[in-house]
Amino acid sequence: MSLNSPIFLKRSEENNSKFVETKQSQTTSIASEDPLQNLCLASQEVLQKAQQSGRSKCLKCGGSRMFYCYTCYVPVENVPIEQIPLVKLPLKIDIIKHPNETDGKSTAIHAKLLAPEFVNIYTYPCIPEYEEKDHEVALIFPGPQSISIKDISFHLQKRIQNNVRGKNDDPDKPPFKRKRTEEQQFCDLNDSKCKGTPLKKIIFIDSTWNQTNKIFTDERLQGLLQVELKTRKTCFWRHQKGKPDTFLSTIEAIYYFLVDYHTDILKEKYRGQYDNLLFFYSFMYQLIKNAKCSGDKETAKLTH
């Protein structure tokens, strides 16, 4: 039979189609088993060596820790700081931590370790004042008033315009002068200097989901633009019972927000610029996954 016969070509196309479907199915299966497999990460060899050697002391407080000190926000002695990646972020980040949140279980520390110049952690009730800057700050938290990331610029620009109108609403000015001032200010908001997003800082609440209400309802956070990550799913190993898988750990929320912000707001192709925010997280995820498979409870304990 000729290799160019219609029957052979049809079988060849069918086989190719089945092969593609099989590969796609395998890829989907692998991705679902390990959602962190395709990250562009720095070498984690330093963490592998540290995990094998066990706990080490913090050079600041002397405490015995695994990988990093969660009170001093620095790597421990057997994890040289020069081997830890530094991540440059497009925004400043404030993390408000619940006082009852266990420091050793918080993933917020990862952000401070990997992007120290961009991240600040506050323990409630210590919260910075945001009232005067509510036009350039957003709180990342789900709720009925939450908007999507792609709508941030629009809503912050509206706040700027409302603030400008409020400042220029002088009853002593003739109506035509007030109107002209507003129009001028509106034009200024739309000139080249104001294009893009006015967003400068994002806020995250670090606590169990059952503890978040106390911080979220604090008057100092009321009135801030609220943003929700609606399409991401957690792979956190301490999943909270009764909560949907869209409730992310703190470091996941930070990472996914920045990825979406990069593509939806900055309008740039994402090339893994923030992947190293998951440097510790992805290593612990794989470590715990392997420990569960092998029944190694001691290894799982080391990462907690």
pLDDT in tens, 37-71: 889 999 999 999 999 999 999 999 999 999 999 99
Extract the tokens encoding 21: 């479907």
Beta strands in 3-152 (DSSP E): 56-57, 64-65, 68-69, 74-75, 92-97, 119-123, 137-140
Answer yes or no: is pLDDT of 89 > 50: yes
Which is more confidently placed, 167 or 91?
91
DSSP assigned state of 240? P
Over the stretch 206-217, which tens digit does the pLDDT of each residue have? 988 778 888 999
pLDDT attached to residue 232: 74
* 214-219, Cβ contacts within 8 angstroms, sequence gap of 24 or more: 214/98, 214/124, 215/96, 215/98, 215/124, 215/127, 216/141, 216/143, 218/124, 218/125, 218/127
Residue 200 has pLDDT above 50, yes or no: yes
- Output the six-digit token pair for 282: 């992805």
Higher pLDDT residue, 256 or 9? 256
Structure-token pair, residue 294: 């092998």
Highest mean pLDDT among 127-141, 168-182, 191-205: 127-141
Verify cis geometry, omega within 30 degrees of 0, for the bond prior to 90: no
SS3 category, 257: helix
Average pLDDT score over residue span 237-254 = 69
Report CA torsion sign: 106, 111, 113, 118. Answer: negative
Average pLDDT over residues 187-197: 47
Residue 255's SS3 state is helix
Mean residue pLDDT of the chain comes to 79
Band (87; pLDDT cuts 50, 70, 90): very high
- Copy the structure tokens of residue 175: 């109506």
CA distance 74 to 192: 41
pTM greater than the 0.85 cutoff: no
Task: Note the pLDDT tens digit of each residue in 23-41.
Answer: 333 333 334 456 788 899 9
Q: How is the chain split into domains, by residue range?
A: 40-84, 85-163+197-296
Instruction: Please list, in sequence order, all residues whose beta carbon lies within 8 angstroms of the beta carbon of residue 183, skipping any fewer than 6 positions away.
Output: none
